[in-house]
Chains A and B, each alone.
Chain A
């Protein structure tokens, strides 16, 4: 295996990992703030896909399709909060997971019923399939764009969480929702805000995912949400940096398996990646960055 080929795969791995990281961050955001695992998060990505599909039918350029997709995902996430999670406020983890699982099934049924059970193609700019030659390494333009967009999205999120007042309130709520509330953080604003940020992350991640897969069907959201789940468990449930690291690790694992597995086993690639993660979790059940918190007894 030459260095050049390896470098090429490395960039692919980083690129895929960065999509996963954006997606995992959106999911982890709501989990660490509110303790909710939103199973219907995957459907936000499907919604991005359909929004982009209809926007392209309407003749919009790609950049507008993408922007519209992100906005709609943000709005849909806030709507999910209002429709499903608010009526069940105070319910436990399992109940909320059940409810969002049911919601994801409703949405999938809706897409199948109202749009089509078949895949719809989404046109992407020709530029995306070009390659650039850097020395001996051929790098896909899409991989580079993906990496740039994902990294800048994460940077913006970091700035928002660190520097803005709303970000501070969300971090406070993540530490201790009750205390944050006592100290004047308004949960009726922080909770929808957390869902909005989560939806926007799903939006950006979704656009990048769709640009890669160039189609959408009712089940589009499944693989991304599964990977996001795996990433945050691998990184350490509840740890935001863990989610990012878990996502990059899983992306790298997937690309490397794809590149180096013998042909006959390639269909099992995803399953092998999941089993590998399970092996890591046998050694470190709390995940890569999972850490001990003081037990409140």
Chain B
């Protein structure tokens, strides 16, 4: 048993469990504080708080990890609540309330646990259907689509009279969410959310939150990981809505509209949306404020002062809280930290005491390099007749390119000559208007870029694109097919071991460049595209880089295509050079031949200047 435990849980899941455990202790303490005095009002508040935690944690699973705002999750809460009402209201009461129920619903009476499970399942199914539509849309459009979801479900709840009684609402739901049930549920939700965050899908989802384009280029199927989290989150929300219904006992559709959405989002923003603990802390703050103010709203006498009754104070207070926290603490009170980060010594002790596997990261199980074809003799990557126009601008006008295993191909050309567009087409980010791209024996012309990456073509970007708020190790582990045992070796080889647990955005510029190459390498590519890897490096640094690139090509037989302005580096490093100008190939051949080519010299320097490799600085400056 112990062995299994060790095998199945790596360090990151273990520290997630530690964090969830600490958060659970916090919940137990809070509940004890509220319930033990025996005051009915206070223990009612405890249940409200714990149920709010299940709701906000469900929301956090999607919003926190994907970085996509959803106004629509309360719709799942509503569906969960109504499903629960229809399954748990005693049959006699149900008959008088809803005489027109279909027979199947008129005859079933379930217990609390079954109702919660059914509600969760129904919402997860709904979540798959809705999510499959959402994840195909541009991110900013998703936000608006979730708003539409809220309205559609609200309209249905309000008008499907035979099932919901419309605006009159339903009543008579048994009170099954007792304080112990609520506490157990809240702990379970926190554990699930925390483990999901550290899981492979959670990690890849967080990578897509940091940089969607880079995530795709790292082989991550972004719509898929979004769909998984949306479904999980919807299912949890449905179950949480069920628990909520089993506590409030009577409700109507109005409760699943903006006021609720607003309160839940306030919890996330104020506490910290990227952290599970943040949601919990936010729930505590919002519930406390709401409870206090609702007492004020009923009129409070403090000493001789009698405060006037003010309705809507809660709404004002929450709005003020949101705006203030967006201005002064945009990442929320706890920021990106989790419970275990607040008590570092506990985590260290726990993780160390578990023996081997320390420092490993989550990721898919070890698999052979994805889709890597055996090295063919001929060209590995072939692009033919590639053309691409943006509006009226022809970025590429029929370019051929090919590279063989172990070969290093340099691509140079003035700004606007089409170098970057060519790399984008080859890596599947941009679909060309004409032409084909073949990798091994796969046609990769139409991408999508995560497929291209999985087939063995990986890349770096001109403006470094890392997953800024993930650690160095997570940056690599997020890449598709990155193997646990490779990560440590690569970190060592690229001199980044000391920074393994630092956030990527805290690295120096040179380290960030190296990390990006590392991430591309972790997928064990057969072709690597490097977009200006030496930009901003001094000669010593670029010499080290050059040596690493040579080793990649020589040792692994990886084909490398490199775009750079540093002609010294390009001419010394590359087997062949291809010169682009205005979207066409000006010359292609060995470095010596290309540099001596009169057309190239003319393009770079104008005629009448000297030629040859010695002019490299002038040529680079000409860029």
Contact = CB atoms under 8 A, between A and B. Distances in A.
B144 A103 contact: no
B312 interface: yes
Interface in A94-148: 94-95, 97-99, 101-103, 105-106, 108-109, 112-113
A272 to B, nearest CB: 9
A287 B143 contact: no
Interface stretch (B150-158, B170-178, B345-353, B534-542): B150-158
A226 B147 contact: yes
B159 interface: yes
Interface residues of A, number: 46
Main secondary structure on B side of the interface with A: helix
B461 interface: yes
Given A88-B326, A99-B323, A99-B326, A105 B315 contact: yes
B327 to A, nearest CB: 6
B395 interface: yes
A87 B155 CA distance: 37
B310 interface: yes
A271 B330 CA distance: 34
Contacts of B494: none
Contacts of A268: 155-156, 159
A262 interface: no
Contacts of B429: 295, 297
A30 interface: no
A293 interface: yes
A270 B159 CA distance: 12
Contact of B465 (A84, A277, A297): A297
A14 to B, nearest CB: 23
B264 interface: no
Contacts of A237: 138, 140-141
Interface residues of B, number: 52
Contacts of B265: 98, 101
B319 A91 contact: no
Nearest to A111: B312
Given A88-B326, A98-B322, A274-B152, A113 B136 contact: no
A295 B213 contact: yes
B316 A286 contact: no
B262 interface: yes
Given A97-B69, A109-B312, A297-B429, A226 B148 contact: yes
A106 B314 CA distance: 10
Given A105-B318, A109-B315, A295-B424, A275 B152 contact: yes
Contacts of A88: 326-327
Interface in A228-277: 229-230, 232-233, 237, 267-268, 270-271, 274-275, 277
Contacts of A112: 311-312
B393 to A, nearest CB: 8
Interface string B298-329: 00000000000011100110111011001100
A188 interface: no
Contacts of A294: 390, 395, 421, 430
Interface string B460-485: 01110100000000000000000000
B256 to A, nearest CB: 14
A114 to B, nearest CB: 10
B196 interface: no
Interface in B363-416: 390, 395
B258 interface: yes
A271 B152 contact: yes
B69 A94 contact: yes
A297 to B, nearest CB: 5
A285 interface: yes
Contacts of B310: 113
Contacts of A99: 322-323, 326
Most chain A beta-carbon contacts within 10 A, residue among B141, B155, B311, B330: B141
A278 interface: yes
Contacts of B319: 102-103, 105-106, 109
A292 to B, nearest CB: 8
Given A102-B322, A102-B323, A275-B152, A37 B140 contact: yes
Contact of B141 (A233, A271, A297): A233
14 contacts: A37-B144, A94-B68, A101-B262, A101-B322, A102-B322, A109-B312, A112-B312, A233-B137, A233-B141, A268-B156, A268-B159, A285-B138, A294-B395, A295-B213
Given A37-B143, A226-B147, A278-B148, 16 more contacts: A37-B144, A88-B327, A95-B330, A98-B269, A101-B322, A109-B312, A233-B137, A233-B144, A281-B133, A282-B133, A295-B213, A295-B430, A297-B423, A297-B429, A297-B461, A297-B531
The 5 closest A-B pairs by CB, nearest first: A271-B155, A102-B322, A267-B159, A229-B144, A102-B319
